[in-house]
Amino acid sequence: MFRLRTPRRALCAVAAALLLPLFAGLAGATAPAHAADTPGAGYWHTSGRQILDAAGQPVRIAGINWFGFETANHVVHGLWSRDYKSMIDQMRSLGYNTIRLPYSDDIFKSATVPDSIDFSNGKNADLQGLNSLQVMDRIVAYAGKDGLKVILDRHRPDAAGQSALWYTSSVPESTWIADLKALAARYATDPTVIGIDLHNEPHDPACWGCGDTAVDWRLAAQRAGNAVLSVNPDLLIFVEGVQTYNGVSGWWGGNLMGAGRYPVQLSVPNRVVYSAHDYATSVAQQSWFSDPAFPANMPGVWDAYWGYLFKQNIAPVWVGEFGTTLASTVDQKWLAALVSYLRPTSASGADSFQWTFWSWNPDSGDTGGILKDDWATVDTVKDGYLASIKAPLFPSTGGSGGGGGGGGTAPSCSASYAVSSDWGSGFNAAVTVTNTGSTAIRSWTVTWTWSGSQQVTTMWNASYTQSGATVTAVNASHNGAIAAGGSVGFGFGGAPGGGGVPTLTCAAA
């Protein structure tokens, strides 16, 4: 049932002399301002190094990879254990605002059907009888209703494994482009899907800017990107790097050294987002991990491979994958350094690197996931590393996201509580806070009293105090502002399990 992710192999040579020049006088960090309307509505576009929503407000992708459509299961993993809606609710409660969904071209074949979905006790009931694309439709629709965005990732040409180039003998370029266009058309009226990652982790012999159409990934990305935009000109086009440029190698898909000299040029302006992947020693060794200056050397490495594109205001940069088991001290230092490099939201707001962590799934063989092996318990240590770079959720596609003008009613909110898993000795729950007034709110407090002996053991995306059976939860810095009609969430673990759902009260300011 479990399918481990294929470990990467990468060459590992870099010299400090190859570091690319950076903009002197990079703009300093500015504190984020909470607009009356929650940013994120509609389709998005780029402006310099930022991504902007339809109203021109800057947004930050702060998300998670949920894989499985690219494997022989032909559907996201974990549905053998849980309902897909409870998983998305939990992602939302943890503060992830975007889901990257890897897939393979197999899901477009008429004979492809998902397997390993549990329908017992009402789980995943509305997925019965659906093919893989139809299941993807349901996931996209529910994610949008929850205020999450989706990036579709062409991860593999087929379920057998990753490919160095965007085509293989059995999946030619024409099929790749036709399937990309089919996805663009399928979600053309739903801005929950903000863009497509054209191909996962191009690597040797893929080149950037060499001019050979058989292996030049930059030229292929232009052909595919323009094909996608011919169907939906509003989508973002996410373009990963290669492995080797001018003799300097790194992670598969992680080398964007050539993008400054040879940019991806599309028929629709302001649509390109460059994407890098970066990993720790649980995936593979690289020369920089044994540098005596580690981890202080890492910002220079990232600047050279991909960070310069952001720092020189050339284009937004999205770290589409990064992850680790955190088993070694080196990996712990690496993740702390990378999170700092990606720019904390509290200091820089949406003027930051974009990111989606690898992965939600615990069954990634070389990184593990945010969830532990029971597919329910959160690895709070790993999730905790990401707390400073999480960002606000986006307006739900299922309700109004409009902000109120002058003369609105007093701020008001409501809160709902759902148990996502209960194993007797403990449980996880998600709380959704909704702005029920006609004006934006700046902060909220949720209170409840249990009838039993339950105690909060951990909480994410909110802080709490507990006195006896009464719990008071207060918003985190990144999710206090809620537009009229909008919602945010937080989650927690508690013990023991088996308790009833309490009555919640919500106060807004």
- Residues annotated as catalytic are 201, 321
CB 5 within 8 A of CB 282: no
Of residues 382, 391, 393, the one with CA closest to residue 346? 391
CB 276 within 8 A of CB 241: yes
Cα-Cα end-to-end distance for the chain: 48
Rounded CA separation 187/364 (Å): 28
Q: Residue ranges of the alpha helices (H) in 170-297?
A: 173-186, 217-231
Rounded CA separation 135/142 (Å): 11
How many angstroms separate the Cα of 69 from the Cα of each of 91, 184, 265? 18, 17, 30
Rounded CA separation 221/201 (Å): 13
Amino acid found at 36: A
Rounded CA separation 284/325 (Å): 12
Tokens of 18: 């190859």
Backbone angles phi, psi at 334, to 5 degrees: -60, -45
Name the pairing type of β-strands 62-65 and 98-104: parallel
Tokens of 170: 């059995």
The H or E element containing residue 87 is helix 84-94
Rounded CA separation 348/351 (Å): 6
